[in-house]
A and B are shown apart, each in its own frame.
Chain A
Amino acid sequence: MPDEFDYKIEAKADMAASGTSVPPIDYAPVAERPEQELYHSKSWWTTYVFSQDAKYIGIQYTCVATAIALVGLALSLLMRLQLAFPNLSLLDASVYYQFITMHGMIMVVFFLTALFLGGFGNLLIPLMCGARDMVFPYVNMLSFWVFVLAVLVLVASFFVPGGPTGAGWTLYPPQAITAGTPGNLWGIVLMLVSLVLFVIGFTMGGLNYVITVLQARTRGMTLMRLPLSIWGIFVATILALLAFPALLVGGIMLLLDAVLGTSFFMPVSVSMGELLQTEGGSPILFQHLFWFFGHPEVYIVALPAFGIVSDLISVHARKNIFGYRMMVWALVIIGALSFIVWAHHMYVAGMNPWFGYFFATTTLIIAVPTAIKVYNWVLTLWRGNIHLTVPMLFTLGFIITFLNGGLTGLFLGNVVIDVPLSDTYFVVAHFHMVMGIAPVLVVFGAVYHWFPLVTGRMLDQGLGKLHFWITFVGAYMIYTPMYYQGFLGVPRRYFEMYESSYISTVGLNVFITLSALVVGLAQIIFFYNVIRSVLKGEKAEKNPWKANSLEWQTPKMPPEHGNWGEKLPVVYRWPYDFSVPGADKEHIPQNVSPSEVAGAKVEKT
């Protein structure tokens, strides 16, 4: 669209004419390059299956990730039933260990990572940056289909001889590939192949997200005007691009150990009474590689959730996010620090005990920027005008859950307190709160928030509230008691719940399982709500939440292919101009020029 590009000359002329560097009131920076021609699909296949439209790919990612998450959810409910009611003999030990492994890997990698980056990343990045699409639409399409392949390989491992691997999602060798572990022949191979495929697929998508944010923002959309959702996804994607290679390396080496009998991670050892022909490898090296990926992975899931929740809280409290710049820097600092804390997962792994000092210190430092984020969320509510919509409810649930899970991280990060608590249910409770329930609450809040953007219809708010209360309170009741099991020393990953001779936890287990069943079943409400609303939900008005960010300012809702119709939007402000003094409107979208809201006393952004 050449007229867009001409603006550059106009703007320059403007500046020259006024003879000063002070920009005119509606000044927007010049476009730096002409707009690319947009790819248009030509057939049914390239429109609905191998789509190259980021919005559509985002929905594809969301659907596949959600589908596999339902498998993960079902596994967890079966595990909880087995733990609380062993007399039912639902599972045997091998199957139990296979389920914990698959549940963990599915939820962390194939659900949350794929959903936040592939799902929300694709949906939101072009729209919120004011781009027509990702910069590499074809690669984006490939990314999704490689992800599908990875999921299929993972699911296939349920059907191979020996079943899926039961090594725990951490896949620690030697155990992962020796005879005492279920799925040590086929299952582990398929798991590793699936992870390798995932990393390949993710890398293609990830490059797209980062480059689109850096290169394809519309005029006026400076980095410090990006919505925090995009900041969260952007930083998380950079983390993922740097962390996944460690998983790739570890995974391929373990694959070689498993298939070709190399000894990257295999020392001299015995398996079922037989001396193995392995020598010289280091099991701890695998743990370092795994956690070099695994710890940033926590933030790969958490940072997009942080970002999205910041936007939800601001829109629904009708108030600017408090301390935007601090929020951005906190994301960046957390991201950077997340690469030097990995061995806090290994305090009792047998590494040199002096490492403890270093990793305990770095880990506790990360608490500072994280705490700042929590303060700023809560301070955003202060003197706001809080609409208790469903997205806001999920946001509030997130804050309490994350506060709880984050604070318990201070126990586990402080090396000497980790010694009694590591490998107990305290850890299970902590990470489920902080990177399970908390991000999932954000996912739900985000779905309720952006559902009208995607479908043009509203989700039912009554059902949404019911879904929220059962999910939030129920999940809280699942995990809070687990902390106390951990204090008691009940170890995790036990097929038969360990009974402390000090005090029995049988009753607690039954309680936890019943809570889990209620929460699990309550998700039916959500899916019913989604299906019903897609078909005959109330039609949404344009920009139903009165948000400022660009995704709601498209000419049509849901946005069409290319998002913006004839002209790209021009951005004049940050996305948080709510309740601005002097403004005649309650909120000022990012693409409203200063001259349109002359009286508004906005702060410069």
Chain B
Amino acid sequence: MFVAFILFLVVVGTLVFHFWSPYWLTPVASNWGSMDQTLILTFWVTGAVFMAVGLFMVYCVWRYRYQKDRKAEYKPEDKKLEFRLTLLTAIGVVALLAPGLIVWKDFVTVPKNAVEVEVVGYQWGWNYRLPGEDGILGKTDIKNISDNNPYGLDLNDSNSKDDIMVQDADLHLQIDKPVKLLLRSIDVLHNFYVPEFRAKMDMVPGMITFYWLTPTKTGEYEILCAELCGTGHYAMLGTVLVEEERDYSNWLAQQITFENALAQNRTIQLAENKK
């Protein structure tokens, strides 16, 4: 009795914890609410299976606990039951997988009108680059990196000239505008993650990875590095501000292009890591 009761408490306690505790997904601030929907679908399907199997087990423990004159049943197999359970599980798995793959298709299909923003990760902070008026980011190479050229821009690429080097630690994004984040790293693996945006992707030196999103809620959100990148990993934080068009334009106007920076012989400062 005692055993069945405690096991019952553990199974039911899991459910109680879910309803009683205040911890849950942060309010979503991008178009990836669809990820939340698949997550919540999975949560309830798996939650129901957990309760069903767990409670059935508890029932068996209580109902068939040792009694001196009881004899266990002798039944090596039940093909029909095994087949039904297999089929039911397979259907459940398909029901979870299919919506997931549909959302995944959205995730890997970048809309044509998405503006490109480059995020460069380094140990341990973030830099940002916007493509400027031509809408094209200039080529880069890690070998070009120097004190004057922290992004490693290709000086011979004319597309580089109007690229905008963001001079402060914060990234600004315009609300409701799809953005394709091009992710680079100059040293080790990093991962650009904003919990409220849901999406994340590793940044790999030697590669340009990407994902896209549309910010849907103005506000200030924290950027976290989500791939272990050395001793300072936990402090590799940043801020992204989602703004209305006017605020965004004001901010953009304050930024300087690569060409101007070179002309004024200004050293492009790496964004200071706040921590």
Contacts and interface: CB of A to CB of B under 8 A. Distances in A.
**Are A and B interaction partners?**
yes
Interface of A: 93-94, 97, 166-168, 170, 172, 174-175, 178, 180-182, 267-272, 275, 281-284, 317-320, 322-326, 348-350, 353-354, 356-357, 360-361, 364-365, 367-368, 371-372, 374-376, 378-379, 381-388, 393, 396, 399-400, 403-404, 407-408, 410-411, 414-417, 419-424, 469, 472-473, 476, 480-481, 484-485, 487-489, 491, 493-496, 498, 500-503, 505, 508, 576, 578-581, 586, 601, 603, 605
A180 B232 contact: yes
A601 B193 CA distance: 63
Contact of B82 (A178, A267, A326, A472): A326
A166 B231 contact: yes
Nearest to A499: B222
B89 A368 contact: yes
Given A416-B38, A420-B200, 5 more contacts: A174-B205, A396-B7, A400-B57, A403-B54, A488-B195
A491 B224 contact: yes
A320 B76 contact: yes
A283 B100 contact: no
Contact of B26 (A270, A360, A494, A500): A500
A372 B21 contact: no
B187 A271 contact: yes
A411 B195 contact: no
Contact of A361 (B97, B222, B232): B97
B93 A368 contact: yes
A165 to B, nearest CB: 11
Nearest to A411: B42
Contact of B57 (A364, A399, A417): A399
A378 B3 contact: no
A488 B42 contact: no
A181 to B, nearest CB: 5
Contacts, number: 321
Given A267-B205, A411-B39, A178 B23 contact: no
Contacts of A580: 74
Contact of B53 (A368, A403, A423): A403
A495 to B, nearest CB: 4
B180 to A, nearest CB: 13
B233 interface: yes
B253 to A, nearest CB: 29
Contact of A175 (B64, B145, B226, B229): B229
Interface stretch (B101-109, B130-138, B162-170): B101-109
A349 B201 CA distance: 6
Nearest to A316: B66
Given A353-B107, A357-B101, A364-B97, A410 B42 contact: yes
A384 B72 CA distance: 4
A185 B167 CA distance: 35
B57 A275 contact: no
B100 A415 contact: yes
Contacts of B241: none
B252 interface: no
Contacts of B49: 407
B72 A317 contact: yes
Q: Chain B at the A interface: mostly helix, strand, loop or mixed?
A: mixed
Given A283-B205, A356-B104, A422-B226, A579 B71 contact: yes
Contacts of A410: 42, 46, 93, 96
A368 B123 CA distance: 42
Contacts of A388: 3, 61, 65-66
Nearest to B235: A496
A490 B204 CA distance: 22
Given A422-B200, A495-B233, A578 B188 contact: no
A469 B42 contact: no
8 contacts: A271-B187, A275-B145, A386-B60, A386-B64, A419-B199, A421-B39, A423-B191, A580-B74
Contact of A411 (B11, B46, B191): B46
B61 to A, nearest CB: 6
B85 interface: yes
Contacts of A481: 17, 21, 23
Interface string B72-98: 111111100110011001100100110
Contacts of B75: 320, 322, 383
Interface in B171-218: 183, 185-189, 191, 193, 195-196, 198-207, 209
A386 B123 contact: no
B108 A353 contact: yes
A268 B142 contact: yes
